[in-house]
Structure formats: C-alpha cells, structure tokens
C-alpha cells in the first residue's frame, strides 16, 4: 500500500543550526509529495511541494528534493529560528488518482534560543 | 486567501451524546475532508467528499458519519460519542483537478473531549 515514513521526534535544535527531517515513501505509481507544517494551536498549512522526480520545493528557507531513486523527500533548512518550532508532516498524493493525502506521523521540532 | 473555519475550537461532551462538528470553506472547493489527529499516529482520514451529497469512507470511518448538503459545508457526526473519540479533529478542503497536485487547506481544528 501507499505509506509515508518520517523520522521520529522530537527534534531539539539551537537557533541557527542545520535541520534535516527525513521522509521516505512507498507508493504505486508516481506520487506528488508535500511537507505541511502545524504551528502550536493551529491547523496544518502547506510548506512546500514537488510533483515529479528531481523537482525541488522551497519556501521560507526550507527545501526538499523529490528523489525517485531513493523514494525520499527530506526536508532541510540551513539555519533554523525559534519561530520554526512546529510539527512537520510529510505527505503524498497519487497522481491522477484519489484526492486523498497519505500523511506521515509528524516530527515535532523545538528550536531553542 | 482560502479560509476553512470550524464551528468550535474546544468541545466537551459526555459519553453517548450525539456530536456535530461543522466545517465551512469559502473557496468553492469541490473536495472536503475530515481527519483526526492523535499523538504518535499523525493524521488519519475519517471521511471525504468530492461533491455535494457524495461521500467516501476514509481509513477510520467506524463510529462516524458525515453530511454534505451544500458545497461549502461538511459536517462530521458522532452518533454516540465514546471516550476513544477524544481527539483533535481537522477539516480540510481542496480544488478538484485531474492530474494536478492540489493543496489541501486546513481549518484550525476542534479539540473534542468525551467524558
């Protein structure tokens, strides 16, 4: 079946540290891939997405590259800020199929000043 | 900006009560979704709807039903609430488009406690 596996948290970093949150997927066909972020007390919002192999999604200093050969979509940021503290979800959607998203379990990030 | 609103941020209900969670979106989206979010389990899809009066079961539909009488409104119904339905409930909507990776827009969530 289709599934998303992301690194378990929580992740705690100091401000300006480098961030990587790993995400790998299993899917039939060629999915589109997403990172969503949930700030404390809020719903999820789209952070970035990529629709085909080798695409790079980027937003707010975050980046992720769709790697078909390793079925991965790792999230990176070169220098995190306290305001990046949130829960991050990796997700996939099958192209041309159902509108449903399949989510990973989420990774909680805490950035300390 | 797309706006998805949910009727309550916090709800406390008693076991056996009938509970209605309401969701409204203002972007004329065809698709609407109900998820529940639990620690360590991530988001799990309960039901979704791709058109008025249409619905499909998600991964965990047991104990829930839904209603979509108007395009902008999608209701989640707990016919007889139980303590294991204590959770955060998130509504989302998206535009339909074959072959297009459309974004889902989420509401702020309703934290339901069943006593």
How distant is the Cα of A71 from the closest Cα of chain B, in angstroms? 18
Number of inter-chain CB pairs under 8 A, A vs B: 54
pLDDT value for B19: 97
Note whether B29 and B8 are within 8 A (CB). no
Q: Taking 90 as the threshold, does the pLDDT of residue B39 lie above it?
A: no
Q: Is A95 within 8 Å of chain B by CB?
A: yes
CA distance B27 to B6: 15
Q: Taking 60 as the threshold, does the pLDDT of residue B101 lie above it?
A: no
Q: pLDDT tier at A100 (50, 70, 90 boundaries)?
A: confident
- Mean of pLDDT over chain B: 91
In DSSP notation, chain B reads ---EEES-SEEEE-TT--EEEEEEESS--SEEEEEEEETTTEEEEEEEESSTT--EE-S--TT-EEEEEETTEEEEEESS--GGG-EEEEEEEE---TT--PPPEE---EEEEE-
Span A39-64, pLDDT tens digits: 998 889 999 999 889 999 999 999 99
pLDDT value for B10: 95
What average pLDDT does this structure show over B93-115? 82
Q: pLDDT tier at B45 (50, 70, 90 boundaries)?
A: very high
The verdict on a CB contact (< 8 Å) between A49 and B96 is: no
Q: Which chain B residue shows the shortest CA-CA distance from A90? A: B42
- Mean of pLDDT over chain A: 92
- Indicate which of B104, B107, B108 best probes the interface with A, i.e. most A CBs within 10 Å of its own CB: B104
What average pLDDT does this structure show over B58-74? 95
Q: Which chain B residue shows the shortest CA-CA distance from A89? A: B42
CA distance B83 to A73: 36
């Amino acid at each position: 079946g289709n599934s998303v596996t992301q690194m378990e948290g929580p992740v705690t970093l100091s401000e300006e540290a480098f961030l990587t949150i790993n995400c790998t997927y299993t899917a039939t066909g060629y999915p589109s891939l997403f990172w969503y972020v949930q700030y404390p007390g809020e719903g999820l919002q789209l952070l970035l997405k990529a629709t085909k192999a080798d695409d790079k999604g980027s937003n707010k200093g975050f980046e992720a590259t769709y790697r078909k050969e390793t079925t991965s979509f790792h999230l990176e940021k070169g220098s995190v800020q306290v305001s990046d503290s949130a829960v991050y979800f990796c997700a996939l959607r099958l192209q041309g199929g159902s509108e449903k998203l399949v989510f990973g379990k989420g990774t909680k990030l805490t950035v300390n000043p | 900006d797309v706006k998805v609103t949910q009727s309550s941020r916090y709800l406390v209900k008693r076991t056996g009560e009938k509970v209605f969670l309401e969701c409204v979106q203002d972007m004329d989206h065809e698709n609407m979704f109900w998820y529940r979010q639990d620690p360590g389990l991530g988001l799990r899809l309960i039901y979704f709807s791709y058109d008025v009066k249409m619905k499909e079961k998600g991964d965990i539909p047991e104990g829930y039903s839904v209603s979509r009488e108007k395009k902008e409104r999608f209701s989640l119904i707990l016919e007889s609430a139980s303590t294991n339905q204590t959770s955060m409930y998130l509504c989302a909507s998206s535009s339909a488009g074959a072959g297009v990776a459309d974004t889902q827009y989420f509401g702020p969530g309703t934290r339901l406690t069943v006593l």
